[in-house]
Structure formats: C-alpha cells, structure tokens
Structure 1
Amino acid sequence: MQQDSSAEKNRAKQIEVPAANGAPDAPAVPLFKIHDATVVRAGKTILHVDDFSLAEGEHVALLGPNGAGKSTFIQLLTREVQPLWHETPAVLFRGQARPLLRDVRQTMGVVSSTMHDQVRVHLPVLQIVIGGLYGTLGLPMGVRITDSDKASALDALDRLGIADLAKRDIMTLSTGQVRRVLVARELIRDPQVLVFDEPCTGLDPEGMYHVRETMSTLAAEGRSVILVTHYPEDIIPAIKRVMLIKSAAIFADGPKEEILRDEVLSNLFEVPLHVGEQDGWYSLRGVYEG
C-alpha cells in the first residue's frame, strides 16, 4: 500500500501545473512543427525539410529562386500537399498530427498574386470581402448579406485604410488596391496567421508601399506573418527571421541580419549580389563588372 501511495504521489508531481510563483512553465507548443518531411511529385523530390518550427505570433520570410520549393513549403503548412508517410508524423499543427482542415483554414489566411489573377468579376468590394467567409470570390448563390457580415467587412477594410472602396467595382481598382482588398477578404475571418505569397508581384512603388504597410499593421496586431518573396525589400522590419530555400531544401534559417548578407544571398541565387540596409529595411542589387 505504501508503494502504491508513493507511486501515485510521483505521478501527481509529474502532471502538476506550476503555480504562479515564478516556477518555469512547460514549453509552448509551436504553431507549426515539421520534421523529416519529404514531398515527391512524379517520382522527384520537390521539397525536403529536416526541421522547422514556428511559434505562435512569430514572423518569418522565405526567400529563394523560382522553383526552389517555397510554394510547396506553404502548401505543407496549409495541408494542400502531404509528405511521404512516416510512422512519426512529419507535420504538426499546434501539436496535432491530424487537425481538422477547417481549423487550419480558420487559423490561416493566404494572399497571393495568383489569387489576384482570379479576380475577373464585376462585383462591389464589399461582396468580395464578405465572400472570404465562404471561401469564394463574391457571395455564393442564395446567400444574403447580414448586418453582421457587412459590419465585419467594413471593419476589415477600415483597418487597412480602404473603407472608402466598399462600394467600388473591384474591376475598377488599381492592382495595389485589389491586393489590399484580398487581404481584407482574408482578415474578415480573423485568422491568426497571414501568408503573403509574392504579395508585391506586378505592383508599382505606391502599391508596394501599401502592401508592406498592411503587413506591418497585421504584425503589430499580434498575427504571425509568413512572407514568401524573391526580394529582401519586401521584408518588413517586424520580420526578424529569414529562411532560405534552394534546390528543394532549406539552405539557411536564422536572424535576418545574419542571413541577409552579400555572400549568403550570392550563394543562394548563384550571382554576385550586394545587400544594403537602412532603418531595418533591406535592399538587393546585382554587382556588375567591366
């Protein structure tokens, strides 16, 4: 009986929650954790990730050449692609190997230049944003706008400084304005993570400025920002971590002041490059001889 009692006490100590007296807390469960994940298509490995972890509220930028595996990496997070099977699950979402897809989609919002290409309908901006509640561009047939939906859409637009566009036809807007409307379309679901996949592609300097400002606004709200880009110029100061992807694998991962250096990016893109920095913003230019 004494042995049983001691065993019970030991088990109780192991599961005891630390009191609020300065005792160390248990390690936080990462938002995403990837270990030994391999994605194969047509018999070819298009991405392999040894180890990756992203904390709740953490920001990261992914840089790499075309075809390196950046988009596939994002699809691993969104569960659009699955890695080769292992007995130990390769991808965890908040510690779960098999989360409900709706939970992943509720947590993440994705904005890309590819999504922008799908905007081919003459609809008011307000309807485009409300469509984010249903995963559609515009409203599904038979759905009516409620006062609550309208208020949520206007709030999302207002937080991005474009509430005045609510009644405009989406097809009459500039490219930069449409890109920000698509951010509002994701924001209406209140996601904790925003993925920006090449968000400044096709934008003029004004559009780039506003999209980068939008990323800064969302980061300041405590949301995780995951940025996929070719250009250090897109990396807002709030993003402190940079991961490089090359030849279907993680090439480097660390603090941006260590990653965004001439020799590292020159090796990444295999051309001579020079990285500049001013007030937390980085720029990239080629080095030409002769």
Structure 2
Amino acid sequence: MNQVVFFENIELRYDVTPVLKNITLSIEQGEHCVILGANGSGKSSLIKLINCELYPSIIGGECRHEILGHERWVVTELRKHLGVVTNDLHTRFAFDCGYLSGFETVLSGFYGTIGLFDHLQNSKDQMSAAESAMERLGIVHLRDKRVDQMSTGELRKCIVARALVHPIRAILLDEPTVGLDIKAQLDFIEMMRSLARSGTTVILVTHHIEEVFEEIQKAVLIKEGMIVVEGKKEEVLNSDNLSYTFNTPLEIEMRYGRYSIHSKM
C-alpha cells in the first residue's frame, strides 16, 4: 500500500446538490500535500471523504475511493493509521473537556473519545505511547496542565499528540493554525515540518498559503467542488492559479522557502 489517498471520478451530493464533482486525486505515501481553496470550495467535504466520515454518492463503474489501499474502513480502525486534527475536534475539547490534563487528552486517542471514562483501563503500553507522543512534539511540560488553562496552541499540539499515540502513516490537518498567534503559528509549522521529516505523510488542508512549508511537495487547488489544478508545488502555486482559485487578483512571492501573498487590486 503505497498510496494514502486514491480517488477516481468521485462525486458527493448532499440530498440532490452536488458538492464535489469528478474528483480524481492520488497522494502517495511520503508525498506531503497541501489542499488549498476558498471557504465553501468543498475542502471540508473532501476532508470527510479522506477520513471516511462520508463515502461517494455514486459507487461503481469508473468511481474509486481508497484510503490506504482499502475502499471501506471502520473509522476507529482507520484512526490507527490516519491521524485527523480538525478545528471541530479542538473546539469540542476546549468547551467540553476543560477538566482533562494534557496527558489525558493525548491518552483519549486510543479510544477515539472526547475525554476519558472511568470504566476505561489504560495499559502500560498505552501510557508509554502517550508519553512518547508528547515527547515527540516537545510538550511533556503540558502533561499535568488542565485543558482550560492551556493556550490555543498548547491544546492544538496535545490534539496532534493524541493522533500520534498510534503508529500512524499519515496525518490530516485541517486549518491547523486558526486561532494561533504569530509565535504559535510559527511553532506549529515547525512541528508539521518535523512530522514530515520523520516519515509521517502530512496532508494539510487550508486557505492560507503562508502555512505551506518547505517539505510539502504536492499542491491541489479546489474551487466550486472541483479540483482545478494539481501537481508539483512549484508548478501549481503561482499567481495565475491562485487568482483563479480565490476569484481575486493575487501576487505570489517566495522568500526563504516560504510563500507570501499580496493583492494586485
């Protein structure tokens, strides 16, 4: 299984309204990828197809939907191989689990739960794996800190560590720096780079080109439910493609290995 994602001619509808049309996409193991698009472009629906919250509306014929080589997954089993970090998940922990410690937040990744329950028995191996995930991200100092005392960036890192308690092959990050201040954004981007360099395939979904870090190799632009262009990052991320994707004249600049964007209006 060398492909994390393999989609061919995917269509997704909510009731009778198509939200994704003719989606063909492949992401290889080790091929770090960014998916860029405006709000309402279909990014959230594409995320749900990748993490198997949703399946294509039409199956059969030339349509293929495979994640890590399988057409269907039990979601709890998929989480052992594909980590998922979304703003919805962050919000649920922030509002519902303020009483948890950082370590308990990470440990909950073994059960796919929002919080921990008294009947759950944690093994020594699970405890050790949670400790290792926190060490990997450099957040051991958050072990005993309560969620309701954490900054947005601290909690976000705990949620990433939560995904890393399993030996995942890939991690899907949805708008990961939303709500972070400048320093926390830079810290988080460095953490993403570290994950990429360690062999975990990173799939970054965003509308901020500034988040695209050096190790990303592939770029996918989505607009109105369709992939408009995909390919090597250096070929895809240019002023013409971004202007079309975001419906506004834009100028893209690359400095020190990172992108910045400016309006041409």
Query: What TM-score, normalized by structure 1, do the two folds share?
Result: 0.85
Matched, 1:112 2:89: no
Matched, 1:266 2:243: yes
Matches within 5 A, 1:1-290: 29-88=2-61, 89-119=63-93, 120=95, 121=97, 122-288=99-265
RMSD between superposed Cα atoms in Å: 1.6
CA offsets 1:36-70 (integer angstroms, 9 cap, x no match): 11001121100023421111121110000111111
Asked if 1 retains the 8 angstrom alpha-carbon contact of 2:4 and 2:170, the reply is no
2:71 partner amino acid: A
Q: Max radius of gyration: which structure?
A: 1
- Measure the CA separation in 2 of the matches of 1:97 and 1:183: 25
Change (3 A) 1:102 1:124: closer
2:209 partner amino acid: P
Structure 2: runs of 5+ lacking an equivalent: none
CA offsets 1:173-207 (integer angstroms, 9 cap, x no match): 11111111110011111211101100011110011
Asked if 2 retains the 8 angstrom alpha-carbon contact of 1:176 and 1:206, the reply is no
1:131 partner amino acid: S
CA offsets 1:96-147 (integer angstroms, 9 cap, x no match): 3334544422211111222111122211111110001001133223124443
1:91 partner amino acid: H
Identity of aligned residues (%): 31
- Measure the CA separation in 2 of the matches of 1:266 and 1:167: 46
- Measure the CA separation in 2 of the matches of 1:32 and 1:77: 7
Of residues 151-160 and 195-204 in structure 1, the stretch that sits farther from structure 2 once superposed is 151-160
Larger relative contact order (CA 8 Å, sep ≥ 6): 2
Structure 1: runs of 5+ lacking an equivalent: 1-27
Query: What TM-score, normalized by structure 2, do the two folds share?
Result: 0.93
Asked if 2 retains the 8 angstrom alpha-carbon contact of 1:34 and 1:49, the reply is no
Asked if 2 retains the 8 angstrom alpha-carbon contact of 1:112 and 1:196, the reply is yes
Change (3 A) 1:100 1:172: closer
Asked if 2 retains the 8 angstrom alpha-carbon contact of 1:198 and 1:229, the reply is yes
Asked if 1 retains the 8 angstrom alpha-carbon contact of 2:76 and 2:112, the reply is no
Q: Secondary structure at the match of 2:141?
A: helix
Asked if 2 retains the 8 angstrom alpha-carbon contact of 1:246 and 1:268, the reply is yes
Asked if 2 retains the 8 angstrom alpha-carbon contact of 1:125 and 1:166, the reply is yes
